[in-house]
Structure 1
Amino acid sequence: MKREQIAAQLYTLRDYCKDEAGLRASLRKVKAIGYSAVQVSGIGPIPAHAVKSAADDNGLAICATHVGFDALTERLQETIATHKLWNCRYVGLGSIPERYRGSADGYAAFAEAASEIGKQLLEHRLHFVYHNHRFEFQRYGARNGMDILREQSHPEAFGFELDTYWVQAGGVNPVDAIHQVKGRMAVVHLKDMAIINDAQCFAEIGEGNMNFPAIIQACRDIGTEWYVVEQDECMRDPFESLEISYRYLSGLAQA
């Protein structure tokens, strides 16, 4: 990991990015912290060209997105055009639709459906990446949901965007999970887990209990391209949280 590979997930700043003015102000702060790129997710209904302009004006790449499943099933050509405009190769889905959850057959059906979408994206040199939560680690016999997604999806058309916090919350070692998706994870979500008042909570990178030197090394081992900092809920100003995480990750970065 190099510093220029560290990105900020705008979902962390969703309350500040509801309109173009807020987005621009937020991107200026993100750039000032030191980030080189952002993932577009959770922002307000801002025109794609305005998002592109705001990112360009602040010297930030758009490395990945999160879109709704309907953007992939009902508006795929529009979604492709937006990602091309943004020079963004990674089309992320933040969660499996509820209709596919709760059974091995549902996960298998989703793996097949998303793989077909991924094949269409590949024709445009774009890549589908799936972001997990905790529920994918529920077991269905000998396998959990993530096992099914990994084993029954197309290895080139269905990529992963592992979220380290949710992997840990699912009872799996993030380092092991990262190695399981070797060759299929160009983007990773980094967030730490702390225990406060006997409850687990989101924490800035380096402020919790997870082994991030080992996690970053595992990502290096499998060739991860983008290291995206996300914090769903912050106990302080979200910009300060992003700065704390960036400072810690910078200490692990290679020259």
Structure 2
Amino acid sequence: MSTRRDFIRKSAIAVAAIPLINSEVFAAPKTSGKTGLALYTIRDAMGNDPASALAAAAETGYNWVEAADHRDGKFYGMQPTEFGKLVKKNGMVALSSHSGINPDNYERMIDDAASAGMKYLMLPSLPGEWSSSIDGYQRAADFFNKAGERSRKAGLRFGFHNHQVEFLEINGRVPYDILLSLTDPKLVTFELDLAWITAAGKDPITYFRNHPGRFEVWHMKDLTPEKQDATLGEGIIDFKPILAEARTAGMKYWFLEQDHCRTHTPMESIRISRDYYLNKLLK
């Protein structure tokens, strides 16, 4: 009788059998010229026609992607192995997933990400019962460690993506600091959203230096003076000194993410942002 573990193992073998792009894509120093895209940025296109949207992302030059639609055991309506194959068919890597993970579904979510050939599984935000009190954040940290251990056994890294709320003090304490202090670095990494930490009035470089190595993945997005996200180069964030601390942060990969594309279409924005990164931030 075939078990779910057998299915995961066979799925991983099937994905691995597809020719991969150069392994340098999985060793991404900031000077490598490799770029990642959070598919949430082009979510409408992904919802309408995932194959065409992924082809467009690849044509723009992106090397790895982060899924943002993982429901009912499927990514964008596809079985995990099918999604992984489609991404690789376009010469990219399905590196990560933003998934609505909770204590009831996390094992299935982890197995799905492993079947798709992913390296990371990120929790996009905390549910209200965890984000409204110190006790809630402590319980969240406990769950992170549990999910991190289960992820490690599946060959994944579990991580958490921030917004502004985690930096707003509760009873004199910064919730994000609680998550950092109560999670095991061997089990849990952090996907730092550079725009939202900046919008919260915090300095990412300070966090890198106080918690070196904890921030393996970044979301790169710019920020307007009104604290709205923006296309790279069209906002107020000075990315060069932040990128200079990539090694301290432990950053291995980053994704362009833009929640709302106000001045360009999403496809235009991902091209402009990538060009800005390559032509302005790496020089």
Q: Does 1:81 align with 2:108?
A: no
Deviations 1:99-122 (A, max 9, x none): 111211111111112111111211
Counterpart for residue 228 of structure 1? 255
Give the 3-state SS of the residue equivalent to 1:208 in structure 2: coil
How far off its partner does 1:224 sit? 0.9
Q: 1 CA distance for matches of 2:136 and 2:77?
A: 31
2:271 pairs, out of 228, 243, 248, with 243
**Higher relative contact order (CA closer than 8 Å, sequence separation 6+):** 1
AA paired with 2:188? Answer: F
5+ residue gaps, structure 1, are: none
Q: Does 1:17 align with 2:49?
A: no
Indicate conservation of the 8 Å contact 1:192/1:209, yes or no: yes
Indicate conservation of the 8 Å contact 2:256/2:270, yes or no: yes
1:201 pairs, out of 218, 228, 242, with 228
Indicate conservation of the 8 Å contact 2:114/2:155, yes or no: no
Indicate conservation of the 8 Å contact 2:101/2:109, yes or no: no
TM-score, length-scaled by structure 2: 0.82
Q: Identical aligned pairs, as a percentage?
A: 28
AA paired with 2:91? Answer: G
AA paired with 1:93? Answer: L
Q: 2 CA distance for matches of 1:67 and 1:173?
A: 27
Counterpart for residue 144 of structure 2? 114
Q: Does 1:60 align with 2:77?
A: no
1:69 pairs, out of 101, 113, 117, with 101
Within-5 A mapping of 1:141-220 = 141-195=171-225, 199-220=226-247
Q: 2 CA distance for matches of 1:59 and 1:208?
A: 31
5+ residue gaps, structure 2, are: 1-29, 70-74
Q: 1 CA distance for matches of 2:32 and 2:260?
A: 24
Aligned residues: 247
Indicate conservation of the 8 Å contact 1:111/1:153, yes or no: yes
AA paired with 1:13? Answer: I
AA paired with 1:10? Answer: L
